[in-house]
């Protein structure tokens, strides 16, 4: 965030009608999740390298709007969770599943991103608390 140039459009909260229009005009299409993809194996390798060097890892899923999540197939949702749970178990890291946590919050700049630059965005507080809790252990 410190490197982003926050423009006024990124700080505007869209209402449900605006979010629906945005999704209709530019639908998000997700490719099918492939558990054997190179990206997933590379992610696991990075975590292993961090672990080998005693570098702590915290993984969290980024918040998404209800409209975005509803546009995902149930198969992709299940695969996504199962892959992250597998990584958590294999690599002994905690995964914080935040992608569904804020669906009812009025914080959306678009269907995939919360607003920028607002101190009242609850997920910022939650992320800070995750880091603080980790550091206190």
Residue 36 is given by DSSP the state T
Backbone angles phi, psi at 135, to 5 degrees: -65, -30
Residue 47 lies in a domain: no
Q: Which domain holds residue 114?
A: 8-27+56-136
Residue 16 lies in a domain: yes
| Number of domains making up the chain | 1
Q: Is the pLDDT of residue 115 over 90?
A: no
Residue 49 lies in a domain: no
Residue 96 lies in a domain: yes
User: H or E element: which one contains 95?
Assistant: strand 95-96
Q: What pLDDT does residue 5 have?
A: 63
| Average pLDDT over all residues of the chain | 84
Residue 90 lies in a domain: yes
CA angle 17, 19, 23 (to 5 degrees): 115
pLDDT for 53-91, tens place per residue? Answer: 999 999 999 888 888 888 888 988 999 999 999 999 999
Residue 110: burial class (beta carbons within 10 Å; 0-12, 13-18, 19+): buried
Per the DSSP assignment, residues forming a β-bridge with 96 are: 60
Residue 42 lies in a domain: no
Q: Against a cut of 0.85, is the pTM above it?
A: no
Residue 39 lies in a domain: no
Residue 45 lies in a domain: no
């Amino acid at each position: 965030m410190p490197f982003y140039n926050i423009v006024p459009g990124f700080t505007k909260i869209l209402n449900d009608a605006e979010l629906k229009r945005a999704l209709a005009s530019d639908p998000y299409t997700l490719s099918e999740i492939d558990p054997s993809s190179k990206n997933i194996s590379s992610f696991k390798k990075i975590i292993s390298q961090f672990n080998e060097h005693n570098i702590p890892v915290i993984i969290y899923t980024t918040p998404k709007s209800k409209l975005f999540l509803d546009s995902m197939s149930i198969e992709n949702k299940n695969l996504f969770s199962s892959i992250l749970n597998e990584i958590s178990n294999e690599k002994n890291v905690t995964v914080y599943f935040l992608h569904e946590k804020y669906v009812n919050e009025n914080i959306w700049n678009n269907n995939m991103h919360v607003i920028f630059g607002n101190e009242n965005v609850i997920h910022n507080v939650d992320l800070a608390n995750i880091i603080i809790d980790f550091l206190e252990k």
